[in-house]
Each structure stands twice: as structure tokens, then as C-alpha cells.
Amino acid sequence: MMDHSLSIPSLAQRITEADRVLVGIDGAGATGKSTLAALLAEQIPDAHVVHVDDFYLPTVRHGELEGAVGALFDLPRLRTEVLQPAREGRAIQYRRYDWPTDALAELIEIPAGAPVIVEGVYCLDDVMRDAYSCSIWCHAPYELRLSRGLDRDGEDAREQWVEVWMPLEEQYAQLQHPDDNADLVLDSAHGLSGTVFTVVADRRD
């Protein structure tokens, strides 16, 4: 175990030493995943960020994956349309889920061989975690995550956070222990909105 601040440039340098760059950044909601992904993308030339939220299932399809981990997300489509081609160095094409319209939207295209950073809850699911060249788990306390989430989504989203998303995320963490299998475990509790991270575990060596 360790306890020191994370240098984004040094992390990016270590990530790019691999033959291919396919990073997975997981963690419960509002732990700083998207912030970290954006910071890394700024440091890694030509990097593309893929959001698990873009694979949310439209309401009409809710229940199709009942019983599966991350059942509100089309993780099978994430695997086949993003992870598999990225791992093989092929071009990526997928349609983004649009939250306001609750439907799939425009086609996203990523060129063959481009560095890819996948961020979002469930991206280190058992079936997918071996695809990544580097896997990262982000952590922050429950109350801080809820506060950040409501700051972002509004008080009207409290029931969705407390009754749906957070329990499902906790169930996933307890069932599969993605934090125990990640190359890096980072804590964003001391950062403003997740912009500062502390390394609490480094298993890359």
C-alpha cells in the first residue's frame, strides 16, 4: 500500500510504454473517473475517451439483461464494439446513447491503433478486465460521492442515486472486487470534484 499524490504526466508516460494503450478506469459514481480520463487524454497524443454511460440501455430495453452485472448498461455491446477491436488494433465504431432523448444517437468512430481510455462503472467487469493494458479503480467515500452526484445532476436525481445506481454499484464491487484486481487504486476524496488523486495501491510492478 502507498499514500502519495498522483502525477498525471508520469502515469501517462507509464501507460504509453505498453505496446498498445487500452486503459480502463472504473469506480462508483462521482469518484473522478471522467476527470481522470480527460486528464490522461490531454497527456496521451491522439487518445480517445469512451464513456460507459454512452452504453446505457434505452428505457424500452430495460430488463433485457436482468440479473447480469451492470444490467442497465449494454456491456456486451461495449465489449464487441470497443474493447475487442481496440485490443486487436482495429478501428472502432459505436453509437452513443443520448440521455435527453433516451435513444442511440450519432456514430462515434475511432481510428485503428489509436490509444483508447474507457471510463465508467462496470468497465472492469470480470469478462472485460483482461482486455486492458492498464486498469484503474477510483475511490471516494459514499457521502462525498452522493454530494458530487447531486451537485452535477440536481436534487431531483437523489432517489435515482440512492435507490438505484449506488446500490447496484456497491453490489458489483462486493461481487467482483474490481478494486482488488486493478493495477492502480486511486482515492479522489481530497480533491475538488475529483481533480486530485492519491495512490493507495499500485500493482503494476
How much is the mean pLDDT over the chain? 93
| Residue keyed to cell 461495449 | 78
Task: Tell me how far apart the alpha carbons of residues 137 and 179 are, in angstroms, rounded to a whole number.
Answer: 6
On the question of pLDDT at 190 being above 70, the answer is yes
For position 154, what pLDDT does the model report?
96
For position 92, what pLDDT does the model report?
98
DSSP string, 112-143: TT--EEEESTTTT-TTTGGG-SEEEEEE--HH
With contact defined as beta carbons under 8 Å apart, do 25 and 36 qualify? yes
- Looking up residue 97, the CATH number of its domain turns out to be 3.40.50.300
Name the residue range of residue 101's domain: 4-202
Angstrom CA distances, 145 to 134, 162, 178, stand at 24, 11, 18
C-alpha cell of residue 48:
480517445
- Dump pLDDT digits (tens) for 11-57: 999 999 999 999 999 999 999 999 999 999 999 999 999 999 999 99
- Dump pLDDT digits (tens) for 101-132: 999 999 999 999 999 999 999 999 999 999 99
> Does pTM surpass 0.85?
yes
Domains identified in the chain, total number: 1
| Residue keyed to cell 467515500 | 141
Task: Tell me how far apart the alpha carbons of residues 170 and 160 are, in angstroms, rounded to a whole number.
Answer: 14
Angle between helices 33-43 and 8-16 (to 10 degrees): 70
C-alpha cell of residue 53:
454511460
